[in-house]
Amino acid sequence: MDVLLLIRRYLIRRRIALVAAVFVALSVCSMVVITAVMDGLRSRIHRNVRGTEPDLTFRFKGDVPLDHLDVVTDRLRGEMAANNRDGKLEALSGRLVTVGFAIAKIPQGPGRPTIDTKSAVKIVGIDLLSEADVIPMRKNLDAVDHPDLGSSSFKAIEGEAIPYVLVGKTLAQKLGLSTQIPAPFGRTNTLVLITGQMTHRAGKWELDASNKTFRVAGCFESGRDDIDALQVFVPEGPLHELMFAERQRPDCTTIHARVSDGARNDLESLKSKLAKAHPDLVVQTWQDRNRGLMDALDLEKAMMSLVLGLIVVLTVFLVLGLLYMMVLEKTRDVGVLRSMGFSGKKVILLFFGYGSILGGIGVILGVILGVIVVKNLNPLMDFLGVEVFSSEVPYRFRAIPTLLTAAQVWWIGIWTMALSMASGVIAALRAATIDPLRCLRHE
């Protein structure tokens, strides 16, 4: 009880030491906010990538057979959950991919020539129904003329006389595309795709230009600039006709797969198992295809955590310095206490408790302030008039994404508290070594 009374007395009278608690609070708040923003950015980008990428992809290592999808599907039949209760694969879909140009002819009214808008694009041929079973296309797709986006809508799109094209919203805005029929003035709902066509003449393959007109059936927004601004989805049949004059090329370039929810948490093990069972197939996970992006995010978070950790360490050293100076200033008090029978253990407990309480005050205030700031970060930026994401730049998001978890808040609080307690121990050990006779004689 006497130790607690002394700690209370020091806290009330020694207000300069509370400055250290304020610095601890600001450090903890900064670490909570920045960690939440970094985790939010990583989570948002991760979700955007997962919304456009299959769990696994397969392709042959050597020459690809003409019926690529059928051959791979037959190979993986035993791995399908529908055929084997231990199977991990739930859906397969083929993709035929090439590059080309997109041209939109924008009408300017009667008697006026049309304006051509152009862009280089990545053309992806898919079966819309099977592709929607592999990746969550319905979450990204926004088709004005098919608002329900169910299986019946997909079948309707597939069955139209003019083949469909699905474009990213960024590309649609750039080219002046619309899904409405008729298209509003200054826009068009048709798109001409141009790519190279392989033709077999006189015993050799030649590359010619070919084009085909597609109807804009829907727009999608995945949150990825490399997809929304460059990629278009078309039926794989018309794309195959566009690419090959004669059907002497594979029906698809890669096969995409969706795995069960349980297997999704351990894709590397499933990848290794499938690669071992089918050595002539190249098996990749979505992490493999986005390794550079994921590694960059992990490195960025690690470096930011290191910088913030150093800030917290410097703040704790400030607490240590204040406590150490306090020990030197309170030499007479320590001597009097020791001469009155105050044991060395109680002296250690006094200064250790004082430092721990200062750290605890800072940690609690910092966590509370940090959580409040994270929960109100975007309104706070608007209130301060800070434009984080310019409306003129096509960022992947318009608001600051945050992700705050109890685990990360506990980790920051416990780590900071431990360092504060360590500084209290150092100051307490110094106080315990003071000889009471020398203290009183010096005074």
Residues 88, 224 share a domain? yes
Domain identity same for 427 and 395: yes
Angle between helices 291-329 and 406-432 (to 10 degrees): 30
Handedness of CA 393, 395, 398, 399 (dihedral sign): negative
- Domains identified in the chain, total number: 2
| pLDDT at residue 437 in the model | 57
- Are 14 and 100 found together in one domain? no
Last residue of a domain, one of 238, 264, 289: 289
Shared domain for 303 and 284, answered yes or no, is no
Distance CA 373, CA 275 (A): 47
Torsion of CA 175, 102, 127, 58, to 10 degrees: -110
**What angle (nearest 5°) sits at the alpha carbon of residue 210, between those of residues 206 and 213?**
165
Whether 212 and 267 map to the same domain: the answer is yes
Q: How many CB atoms lie within 10 A of CB 232?
A: 25
191 is written with which tokens? 């798109």
Beta bridge partners of 234: 125
Domain that holds residue 352: 2-48+294-442
Look up residue 377 and give its DSSP letter: H
Chosen domain end from 254, 289, 324 = 289
* The predicted structure's pLDDT at residue 357: 78
Per-residue pLDDT reduced to its tens digit, 182-200: 778 888 888 999 887 766 6
Residues with Cβ within 8 Å of 180's Cβ and at least 6 positions away in sequence, in order, are 144, 145, 187, 189
Query: Would you state the torsion angle of the CA atoms of residues 146, 147, 151, 157, taken in this order, to the nearest 10 degrees?
Result: 10
141 and 102 within one domain: yes
| Same domain as 407, residue 282 | no
DSSP tag of 64: P
Rounded Cα–Cα distance for residues 11 and 9 (Å): 5
Beta strands 231-235; 115-126: pairing state: parallel
Do the strands 164-168 and 204-220 form a parallel or antiparallel pair, or are they unpaired? parallel
Q: Which helix (H) or strand (E) holds 259?
A: strand 254-259
| pLDDT tens, position by position, 97-114 | 888 899 998 887 676 777
Nearest residue to 251 via CA among 441, 66, 46, 9: 66
Q: How many residues comprise the chain? A: 443
Name the H helices within 76-113.
none
- Please tell me the distance from the alpha carbon of residue 163 to that of residue 215, in angstroms, as a whole number: 6
Indicate if 31 and 76 belong to the same structural domain: no
Under DSSP, the state recorded for 17 is G
User: Of 271, 289, 307, which marks where a domain is finished?
Assistant: 289
So what's the pLDDT on residue 369?
A: 92
Alpha-helix residue ranges (DSSP H) falling in 76-184: 128-134, 137-140, 151-158, 169-175
Indicate whether 43 and 92 sit together in one domain.
no
Q: Is 409 left (phi over 0), alpha (psi -120 to 50) or beta?
A: alpha
Do 19 and 151 fall into the same domain? no
Measure the CA–CA gap between 2 and 10, rounded to whole angstroms.
Answer: 12
Q: Which of 148, 154, 152, 147 is nearest to 132 (CA)?
A: 154
Instruction: Name, in order, each residue with C-beta under 8 angstroms of 227's C-beta and a sequence gap of 6 or more.
Output: 52, 168
Omega of the bond leading into 147 within 30 degrees of 0 (cis) = no
Task: Encode 282-297 in three state secondary structure.
Answer: EEEEHHHHCHHHHHHH
Q: What is the pTM of this model?
A: 0.69
Residues of the chain predicted below pLDDT 70: 1-17, 109, 111, 138-161, 198-207, 245-248, 323-344, 347, 351, 388-398, 427-443
Whether residue 315 is found in the same domain as residue 386: yes
244 with 334, same domain?
Answer: no
Burial class of residue 394 (count of CB atoms within 10 Å of its CB; 0-12, 13-18, 19+): middle
CA 425 to chain CA centroid, nearest Å:
41
